[in-house]
Amino acid sequence: QVQLQESGPGLVRPSQTLSLTCNVSGGSISNADYYWSWIRQSAGEGLEWIGRMYITGRTNYNPSLKSRVTISIDTSKNQFSLKLSSVTAADTAVYYCARGLSGGWFGGNWFDPWGQGTLVTVSS
Amino acid sequence: DIVMTQSPDSLAVSLGERATINCKSSQSLLFSSNNKNYLAWYQQKPGQPPKLLIHWASTRESGVPDRFSGSGSGTDFTLTISNLQAEDVAVYYCQHYYGTLRYTFGQGTKLEIK
C-alpha cells in the first residue's frame, strides 16, 4: 500500500526558509485520483492544513499561510515538497505529508495515509 | 472559515462501554446537490500520525472495526465507539472538507479508560 515519508532539517533559523520533502512509495504520485497535502501539528494550534497540489500543477494554500508557502511536485522522483519562508517560532511543529482523497468537484480532501511526521523547530 | 468545535475535550470510559464524541461546525457541511456531509474522523495514538476512520460523516474505512460509527448531518456530528477496547485510547479529531479553500480540524478529544 502507499506509504509516505517526510525528510528535511529538524532545525531552522528564524527568518529562513523551511524545506521538506515527502517521498511516496507503493504507488504513483501521478495518479489522477489523488491530491498531495502538507499538514502541521503544534501544541498551540492543533492540526493545521497548509496546502495541496494536484498532478496538473494546480495548488491550493491555506489563506493564512499563502504568502509564505510553495508546494511543488517531482514526478520523476515520486516526491513532493514544501517550502515555507520567513519562519518564526510559531512555525515550530510536526509536519506531516498526506494523500488527499477527493470529495468531488465541490469538496476538498480527507487524508489517508499520512507520513510519520517530522518535527521542525525554529530557533536561533 | 468554518470552525470545528469538539466536545468534550476529554472523557474517560470503562472498558466495554460506549464512548461518544461530538463535533459541531460553524456552518452546515451538507451539500444539497448530493446530500452528502463533508466530514471526516481521525484517530491519533501517541507518537503516531492521525489515522482516517470515517469520511462522508458515516462511511467507515476498510479495516476499521465496526464498533466505530459516525452519524449526524448539517452542523452536528457524532463519533461513537461501542464496546470500548484498551487499544481505542487516543485523541480523536473531526475535519471538514466542505469547499476547497481551507480544511479545518476540531481541537481534538482525548479518550481514556476509566
Q: Using one digit for the tens of pLDDT, what is the confidence trace for B3-27?
A: 999 999 999 999 999 999 999 999 9
Min Cα–Cα distance to chain A from B16, Å: 28
Angle formed at CA A111 by CA B94 and CA B90, multiple of 5 degrees: 50
- Nearest CA to A73 among A37, A26, A112? A37
Q: What percent of chain B lies above the pLDDT cut of 70?
A: 100
Cα separation, A113 vs A108, whole angstroms: 16
> Of A46, A62, A101, which has the smallest distance from its Cβ to B108's Cβ?
A46
Average pLDDT over residues A68-74: 97
Q: What b/e string do you get for A68-80 counting C-beta neighbours within 10 Å, with b at 16 or more?
A: bbbbebeeeebbb
**Which of B97, B98, B104 to mutate to test binding with chain A, by most A CBs within 10 Å of its CB?**
B97
Q: What is the pLDDT of residues A43-59, one digit of tens each?
A: 888 999 999 999 999 99
C-alpha cell at A36: 498531495
Q: What's the confidence (pLDDT) of residue A102?
A: 86
Q: What's the confidence (pLDDT) of residue A45?
A: 83
Determine contact: A103 vs chain B, CB below 8 A. Answer: yes
Q: What's the confidence (pLDDT) of residue A72?
A: 97
Q: What's the confidence (pLDDT) of residue B102?
A: 86
Q: What is the pLDDT of residues B30-50, one digit of tens each?
A: 999 999 999 999 999 999 999
Cα separation, B10 vs B17, whole angstroms: 16
Phi-psi region of A104 (alpha: psi -120 to 50; beta: other; left: phi over 0): left
CB A51 within 8 A of CB A37: yes
pLDDT band at A24 (very low <50, low <70, confident <90, very high): very high
Q: What percent of chain B lies above the pLDDT cut of 90?
A: 94
CB A29 within 8 A of CB A55: yes
pLDDT band at B54 (very low <50, low <70, confident <90, very high): very high
Q: What's the confidence (pLDDT) of residue A105?
A: 79
Q: What's the confidence (pLDDT) of residue A108?
A: 87
Please check the confidence at residue B100 and state whether its pLDDT lies above 80.
no
Q: What is the pLDDT of residues A74-110, one digit of tens each?
A: 999 999 999 999 999 999 999 999 999 987 778 889 9
- Cβ within 8 Å, pair B97-A107: yes
**Which of B100, B104, B107 to mutate to test binding with chain A, by most A CBs within 10 Å of its CB?**
B100
* Location of C-alpha cell 464498533: B67
Q: What's the confidence (pLDDT) of residue A50?
A: 97
Please check the confidence at residue B65 and state whether its pLDDT lies above 90.
yes
Determine contact: A111 vs chain B, CB below 8 A. Answer: yes
Q: What's the confidence (pLDDT) of residue A35?
A: 95
